[in-house]
Amino acid sequence: MNARPEKLVVVGAGSWGTTFAKVLADSAIERGVVEPEIVLWARRPEVAEDITARKRNTDYLPDIDLPACLSATTDLAEAVAGAGLVVLAIPAQEVRGHLPSIRAHLDPAAVVVSLVKGLERGTDARMSELCAEELGLPDERFAVVSGPNLALEIARQEPTATVVASADPATAEWIAVRTSGPYFRPYTNTDVTGVEICGVVKNVIALAVGICDGLGYGDNSKASVITRGLAETARLAESLGGQAETLAGLAGLGDLVATCASPLSRNRTAGRHLGQGLSVDEATARLKQTAEGMKSVSAVVDLARRHGVEMPISEAMNAVIAGALDVDTLAGLLLARDLKPEGRS
């Protein structure tokens, strides 16, 4: 294999993409890397200029100072060329459209990492499947990073842990080294499918928790939805080959709790707006960023149906987003299943 370049690139300059680029930069500085090259691809010129010239991302992380070694560009080819690590931090529905340009300039040894917590509508594809199809990547050159990773808290350098999953343990370890730092602790895993599904479905469950919040329900209701949501996630993940241990770890329970409990969570916030009576379009406009749960829920439900997996909370969320179910009638549906022992759920 060719030597892997040390240039690191993040495709997407939203709050999580920018924060992850900061993590990479801070890790490089901590490891004593001389003149690290960390590049962000931004869609809008003003965002790229803000990051490069002022070391700020005013739109998404207005109070965070970014490392001096961070730069940004709107030229995707320029960003990807010569990079040993290419991180995808864009909405799930936009990934396929960017992959041909990435493939044209991808180093033969480069690893692609997905931060994306969504499925592609129409194909129900996970990002690992998209990258294998569109980039021709072997398993050992792909990884996914997921966990209780609320961007603003990490940008503030509050301690957090995460999971780096790759079919190849050496690849996961290579990425872990480049993300590890005083406030960011990566653990490695080989269960790519389980980690991806956990990251996708927790956003759907967070929508339900947010709706409960918006409707004025208390913590019992929200804890019940979170717990039943974890069971749904487990059924789907395991049906696709995911491991039960993943569900109990950072990418499963950890990410679910953080996303459902934090006011910083876009998906919980979107759900709260819906519970307060806003339409889907109004809630989306209020957020100003993508809530992947609203975009991916139809694909989650379609995938579950194709595999014969019962996901009543996800089904209810899909009906709400499609306008087929009013949130005021949601309470009875969120927990409406036949009476049975908990362990058989």
Spell out the per-residue pLDDT of the chain, length 345, in tens: 457 889 999 999 999 999 999 999 999 999 999 999 999 999 999 999 999 999 999 999 999 999 999 999 999 999 999 999 999 999 999 999 999 999 999 999 999 999 999 999 999 999 999 999 999 999 999 999 999 999 999 999 999 999 999 999 999 999 999 999 999 999 999 999 999 999 999 999 999 999 999 999 999 999 999 999 999 999 999 999 999 999 999 999 999 999 999 999 999 999 999 999 999 999 999 987 888 999 999 999 999 999 999 999 999 999 999 999 888 887 666 665 554 666 545
Tell me which amino acid residue 111 is.
V
The response to whether 340 counts as a known ligand-binding position is: no
The response to whether 337 counts as a known ligand-binding position is: no
At residue 308, φ and ψ (nearest 5 deg) are 65, 35
Structure confidence at residue 339 (pLDDT): 46
**55 is an active site residue:** no
Structure confidence at residue 336 (pLDDT): 58
Bridge partners of 125, per DSSP, are 120
The response to whether 338 counts as a known ligand-binding position is: no
Name the pTM for this structure: 0.94
Structure confidence at residue 204 (pLDDT): 96
CA–CA gap between residue 147 and residue 195 (Å, rounded): 8
Q: Which of 7, 22, 55, 202 is catalytic?
A: 202
Structure confidence at residue 186 (pLDDT): 98
CA–CA gap between residue 345 and residue 168 (Å, rounded): 33
CA–CA gap between residue 282 and residue 156 (Å, rounded): 29
The CA distances from residue 238 to 98, 197, 242, 284, 328, in Å, are 30, 9, 5, 31, 32
Local structure of 39: helix, strand or coil: strand
The response to whether 187 counts as a known ligand-binding position is: no
The response to whether 15 counts as a known ligand-binding position is: yes
* Cβ atoms of 126 and 235 closer than 8 Å: no
Structure confidence at residue 327 (pLDDT): 87
The response to whether 267 counts as a known ligand-binding position is: yes
